[in-house]
């Protein structure tokens, strides 16, 4: 298909391969894309040489640099079930609609009394929701909602895992899902004393294994002495 450029007119360029490639890439990115809503806080975790991937099935506690704790469950059904049980425990009424909406939300950091109002807040207004002081986790007074969220959320997540496992066994297929793991994501500049409270909450529940989320790094530490 060689073609000599004709004098005068604009040179015609065969764009077919480029367009093919463009569509190929569009297809690839569309199929690999996973949509997520924005997290309520952006935390910048420290770097480490840890190379373990964060498991897909996890229960995540995020701690921002002011020490606020945010709670999230990756499995949306487990999340809905956990909210139902928490609502019953704390006697906060939720509508079915709110529960469904809640399952699509990422982590949240509000008192359960403010949670219905938080769920009804518009998406773009949610990050400036007040009061957003983090999930209460007082380790001395009985108002440790984070503990209940972790205990109930963890139980529900394991239930969902068991359900998926029996279903897969009945269908005779391979079962690849893993048990839920507890992950902690924390900003590098957070005072460790806040993290300690969260870890205390976990160890009080006899949970001792965590995945601490970090950024990937070449090796060793990077802080250079200033002198």
Partner 1 sequence: MAEIQEGGGGKKGGKKRAKKQSTRIDMTPMVDLAFLLLTFFVLTATFSKPKSMELTFPAPPDNPKDQPPIKNGITFLLSKDDRIFYYEGEFRPKDDEKGMKTQLSELNFSKESLRKYLLEKNKDMQKQVKDLIIKHEAKQLEDSTFKRLVRERKADKMTPTFLIKTDDKATYKNVIDVIDELNYNVVGKYVMVDILKPEMDLVTEKVGQ
> What value, to the nearest 5°, has the Cα angle with vertex 77 and ends 39 and 152?
85
Name which of 2 and 130 has its Cβ closer to partner 1. Answer: 2
205 binds partner 1 (CB under 8 A): no
Instruction: Kindly tell me which residue out of 29, 93, 122, 140 binds partner 1, with binding defined by CB under 8 A.
Output: 29
**Rounded to the nearest 5°, which phi and psi values hold at 92?**
-110, 120
Q: Per CB under 8 A, does 216 bind partner 1? A: yes
- Encoded tokens for 205: 């529940």
Name which of residues 63 to 92 contact partner 1 (CB under 8 A).
Answer: 63
Give the sheet arrangement for strand 58-63, strand by strand: 69-73, 58-63, 181-186
Query: Is the Cβ–Cβ distance between 221 and 48 less than 8 Å?
Result: no
Among 8, 11, 25, 95, which residue sits at the site for partner 1 (rule: CB under 8 A)?
A: 25
Q: Which is nearer to partner 1, 14 or 170 (CB)?
A: 14
Residue 78 DSSP SS3 = helix
The answer to the question of residue 123 lying near partner 1 (CB under 8 A) is: no
Contact residue for partner 1 among 123, 124, 130, 223 (CB under 8 A) = 223
Contact between 15 and partner 1 (CB under 8 A)? yes
12 binds partner 1 (CB under 8 A): yes
CB of residue 105 vs partner 1: minimum separation in angstroms?
Answer: 18
215: its two tokens:
């950024």
Judged by CB under 8 A, which of 76, 98, 121, 211 binds partner 1?
211
Residue 179 engages partner 1 in binding (rule: CB under 8 A): no
Q: Does 171 bind partner 1 (CB under 8 A)?
A: no
The answer to whether 140 contacts partner 1 (rule: CB under 8 A) is no
7 Cβ contact list (under 8 Å, min separation 6): none
Q: How far apart are the C-alpha atoms of 166 and 177, rounded to whole Å?
A: 12
Specify the DSSP element, H or E, that contains 165: helix 145-171
Contact 117, 128 (CB under 8 A): no
Q: 177: burial class by Cβ within 10 Å (0-12, 13-18, 19+)? A: middle
Q: What are phi and psi of 47, to 5 degrees?
A: -100, 155
Position 210 contacts partner 1 (CB under 8 A): yes
**Residues within the interface to partner 1 (CB under 8 A):** 1-3, 6, 12, 14-16, 18-19, 22-23, 25-26, 29-30, 32-34, 45-46, 48-54, 63, 183, 185-193, 195-196, 199, 202-203, 206, 208-216, 219-221, 223-225
């Amino acid at each position: 298909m060689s073609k000599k450029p004709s004098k005068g007119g604009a040179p015609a360029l065969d764009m077919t391969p480029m367009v093919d490639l463009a569509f190929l890439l569009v297809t690839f990115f569309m199929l690999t894309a996973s949509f997520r809503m924005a997290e309520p806080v952006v935390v910048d975790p420290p770097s480490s040489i840890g190379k373990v991937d964060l498991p897909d099935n996890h229960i995540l506690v995020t701690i921002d640099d002011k020490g606020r704790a945010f709670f999230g469950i990756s499995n949306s059904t487990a999340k809905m079930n956990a909210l139902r049980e928490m609502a019953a425990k704390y006697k906060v009424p939720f509508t079915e609609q709110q529960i469904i909406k809640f399952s699509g939300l990422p982590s949240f950091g509000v008192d359960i009394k403010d949670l219905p109002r938080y769920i009804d807040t518009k998406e773009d207004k949610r990050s400036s929701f007040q009061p957003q002081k983090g999930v209460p986790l007082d380790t001395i007074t009985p108002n440790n909602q984070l503990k209940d969220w972790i205990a109930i959320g963890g139980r529900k997540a394991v239930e969902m895992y068991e359900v998926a496992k029996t279903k897969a066994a009945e269908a005779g297929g391979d079962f690849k899902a893993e048990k839920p793991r507890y992950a902690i994501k924390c900003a590098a500049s957070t005072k460790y004393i806040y993290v300690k409270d969260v870890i205390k909450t976990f160890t009080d529940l006899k949970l001792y294994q965590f995945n601490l989320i970090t950024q990937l790094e070449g090796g060793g530490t990077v802080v250079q002495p200033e002198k």
